[in-house]
Amino acid sequence: MEINENMNAAEALKVKGVADVFRKYDLYCLKCKGIVQETIEKVCYNRNIDKETFLNELNKSVKDAK
């Protein structure tokens, strides 16, 4: 499965390996009320995280977790 910018955070966090990347960026989305509404793109925008770097790290973690 590939993580993309339009995927919501809740959906992405279900994928093995992804939670570690979220924690690396101090994103504790499981505690957020808007987790099912926030897309990866919106999370990056709101936290001033480079979207391409974040997506690359997320997808690498998915690949490495297999």
User: Residue 4 falls within a domain, yes or no?
Assistant: no
* Cβ atoms within 10 Å, residue 17: 16
What percentage of residues in the chain have a pLDDT greater than 70?
Answer: 95
Single-letter code of the amino acid located at 54: F
User: Residue 26 falls within a domain, yes or no?
Assistant: yes
* Over residues 31-51, mean pLDDT: 88
User: Residue 45 falls within a domain, yes or no?
Assistant: yes
Domain limits at 14? 9-65
User: Residue 40 falls within a domain, yes or no?
Assistant: yes
pLDDT above 80: residue 9: yes
Q: For the ranges 18-22, 28-32, 54-58, which has the lowest average pLDDT?
A: 28-32
- Confirm if 57 and 20 have CB atoms less than 8 A apart: no
- Confirm if 21 and 58 have CB atoms less than 8 A apart: yes
For residue 8, the 8-state DSSP code is B
Domain count, the chain: 1
